Amino acid sequence: MRFFNTTGPVVAEDHYCIPPLQRLNLNEVLRLIRDKRYFVLHAPRQTGKTSALLALRDLLNAEDNYRCVYVNVEAGQAGREDVEQVMRTILGALSSWARMTLDDGFLDEVWLDILAKYGPHGALDEALTRWAQADPKPLVLFFDEIDALIGDSLLSVLRQLRAGYVRRPEGFPQSVVLCGVRDVRDYRIHSSSANAIIAGGSAFNIKARSLRLGDFSRDEVVALIGQHTEETGQVFTPDALETIWTQTQGQPWLVNALADETCFRDEAAENEDRPITSEDIREAQEQLILRRETHLDQLADKLQEERVQRVVEPLLSGGEASDFSTRDLEYVRDLGLVASNEPLRIANPIYAEIVPRELTYAAQVGLDEDAAWYVNADGSLNVVKLMTAFQTFFREHSEHWVTRFQYQEAGPQLLLQAFLQRIVNSGGRIEREYGLGRMRTDLLIVWTQGDQTRKVVIECKILHKSLEQTIADGLEQTAEYMDRCDAEAGHLVIFDRRAGRRWEDKVFHCRRAADSGVEIDIWGM
């Protein structure tokens, strides 16, 4: 039985998969190779880049017009800026891959001597020159994980490829593809030898194009899941398929991970005849987040970087863009953390869930709150009691807790989410909507009560204008969100962060009606 792949390149015999070459603009790629171009293929981690390169390599070798070799240079990262050690690693890997792929042992015989004679800053150039000349069939090379290299080691590779470019195809590879998370133009390479920052674009100015591998389309998500149904008979309900698409927006690892979790993990594998429902997908999502799977943990780790914070913090607070630059935005998009198109937003709802939960993890653990205190006798959640407790907590502890957050501009919203998460985990979930320039953060509590599901909206706003205007705007926004989510209750939280204000003037609770007539609780803090 095939299964959903969440580790390494896809193998069609083992994995349900979308054919990797189907995900490329193959005509464009083949034209670039035919025209002797050097170009970049980039995409976020675990998107399918390596699978695409390996499939392209096999296609080119099967057509027998080129000699094509793929090499992963990530092992060179261990050498850091020891250029000789890194070149030794790369040349050894090239030799090994050539032997395995083409039964070509040419480099085995010469690369050590070349390294000794030409040194680390000339060995790759000379080795590729001799290798290209050894056979009349043009040589094509794919360098995967190129951005794992750093500093002078990366500069040396890029500059040697640039130096040999003019000798192609008789005396150098006809085409070279550099593959990584980021476009080479966005590299800012610190050269220790020159004590300077070198732009990747200047070190590799022979690049013809930068191609980005996209996520799955909706149709591809359905097709991938359909392979499992066809082979096992287990169906995904229409709602489950829609939930997978909505929550992942086609991010390949997320799609495969959700499907794998629902079909093959623990008791799921014992009930393979049971249809997969939307609730199964939601539960799988929660399990992936709680286990802090490597893919999600790596993404969360990036939140500690200042250039990521400059982009993400105003998204969380709903404020306007302030400090981030175009390069900051390009970096966060290359990571796959924010969407590659407008409007500026977190790439998918699962990542949008992970961001605040990761940033508030320590606060959630440190909060001493018993969920049972806020559950009524009939099993419903007493949100008024919950918000009253948070209002008291915020008044007493916010200055201490907010300053502990790295993202202090979004501190009040994050503290509320940490408090809610601690409680809601026991019987429900929180869905979040936030984004640049919204001037608010929308939270939806979905609470399970027996066989019923109840929804409550909590909208957060920072007081920017007058209190009355903020309330008026917030009431309509909350009512609109309640209507869209079919929520039974709504709460508007207004954080007053103006300097010099006394708590007696900031803290209040009242109930007002929006223009539509719906009653909404308002909490001042």
Q: In whole angstroms, what is the distance from residue 250 CA to residue 19 CA?
A: 15
Nearest to 263 by CA among 226, 306, 296: 226
Answer whether 389's CB lies under 8 Å from 410's CB.
no
Q: How many CB atoms lie within 10 A of CB 429?
A: 17
| Segment 221-279, tens digit of pLDDT | 999 999 999 999 999 999 999 999 999 999 999 999 999 999 997 665 566 778 999 99
pLDDT of residue 71: 98
pLDDT of residue 431: 93
Among 193-197, 198-202, 406-410, 480-484, the range of highest mean pLDDT: 480-484
In Å, how far are 40, 235, 332 from 327, measured between CA atoms?
18, 44, 9
* Helix, strand or coil, per DSSP, at residue 491: strand
- Average pLDDT for 162-168: 97
Q: In whole angstroms, what is the distance from residue 47 CA to residue 295 CA?
A: 11
Say whether pLDDT at 180 is over 70.
yes
In Å, how far are 13, 67, 99 from 71, measured between CA atoms?
23, 13, 12
| Segment 382-421, tens digit of pLDDT | 999 999 999 999 999 888 888 888 898 899 999 999 999 9
Say whether pLDDT at 292 is over 70.
yes
| Segment 301-311, tens digit of pLDDT | 999 999 999 99
Residue 113 has which token pair?
């001597």
pTM for the model stands at: 0.92
Q: Which helix (H) or strand (E) element contains residue 259? A: helix 252-264
Any bridge partners for residue 48, and if so which? none
Cα dihedral sign, 234-238-243-249: positive
pLDDT of residue 238: 98
| Segment 118-142, tens digit of pLDDT | 999 999 999 999 999 999 999 999 9
Say whether pLDDT at 108 is over 70.
yes
User: With pLDDT > 70 as the criterion, what percentage of the chain qualifies?
Assistant: 99
Strands 441-449 and 452-462: antiparallel
| Segment 32-47, tens digit of pLDDT | 999 999 999 999 999 9
Q: In whole angstroms, what is the distance from residue 119 CA to residue 124 CA?
A: 9
Q: Which phi and psi (to 5°) does residue 234 adopt? A: -80, 125
Q: In whole angstroms, what is the distance from residue 77 CA to residue 281 CA?
A: 37
Say whether pLDDT at 439 is over 70.
yes
* Helix, strand or coil, per DSSP, at residue 445: strand
In Å, how far are 113, 139, 185, 478 from 64, measured between CA atoms?
30, 11, 32, 63
Say whether pLDDT at 501 is over 90.
no
Long-range contacts of 264-272 (CB under 8 A, 24+ apart): 264/3, 264/4, 272/232, 272/234
| Mean pLDDT, the chain, whole residue set | 93
